[in-house]
Chain A
């Protein structure tokens, strides 16, 4: 199982903070595509150019591999401080 988390404006836009996928292995880019296929309303917000990804709480690239048990997060640019 892959656990996917959403934060801030992206979470608000999707209307959910978390989604679990039973069978997924592939890259971050492929995960974005898969989620967009499952939930067509998510496609545009998830594909937005400024949305960043983290895998297991480390910033990840589009090509970063995801395997079973990983925690993936998608979020907009950070605005702390």
Chain B
């Protein structure tokens, strides 16, 4: 069972965990990842950011990533939420929650989904801070993280 949501509204991590666990007796493992807005990036103070995306392609991309995760591991529920629009420092941007009968599958799938999302889902961050507005640059390290899943 997949739940994928691209939204402007904040989400509550507790509610998402509750949705992963409700009437779910077969999966003993849940792995969660939450990404939040940092106050510093590339040595510059950040006060907030605006997240742009490509409506239509974003949802397709996220669905494909989750489907691919399911072909690699035995997963129960997957919840993937990503916010777009304006966000302040400390607000949560992205939530990935995965359940499985086994912790290895839950950990790995959670990381896999984030690694793929970082390099292929069409989102872009515009940070506001002490030096004005700056488009965030992609990181080579995110590309390298992806290589461990190439098999």
Contacts and interface: CB of A to CB of B under 8 A. Distances in A.
Interface residues of B, number: 26
B118 A9 contact: no
A29 interface: no
B70 interface: no
A80 B57 contact: no
B28 interface: no
Interface of B: 35, 51-54, 56-57, 60, 82, 93-94, 114, 117-126, 135-138
A76 B124 contact: yes
4 closest cross-chain pairs (CB), A and B = A80-B123, A77-B138, A8-B124, A57-B57
A7 B94 contact: no
Nearest to A17: B52
Contact of B135 (A57, A76, A80): A76
Nearest to B120: A78
B60 A78 contact: no
Interface of A: 5, 7-9, 12, 50, 54, 57-59, 73, 75-81
A79 B35 CA distance: 12
Nearest to A8: B124
A58 B118 CA distance: 16
Nearest to A12: B135
A80 B117 contact: yes
Contacts of A59: 120
A76 B56 contact: no
A80 B51 contact: yes
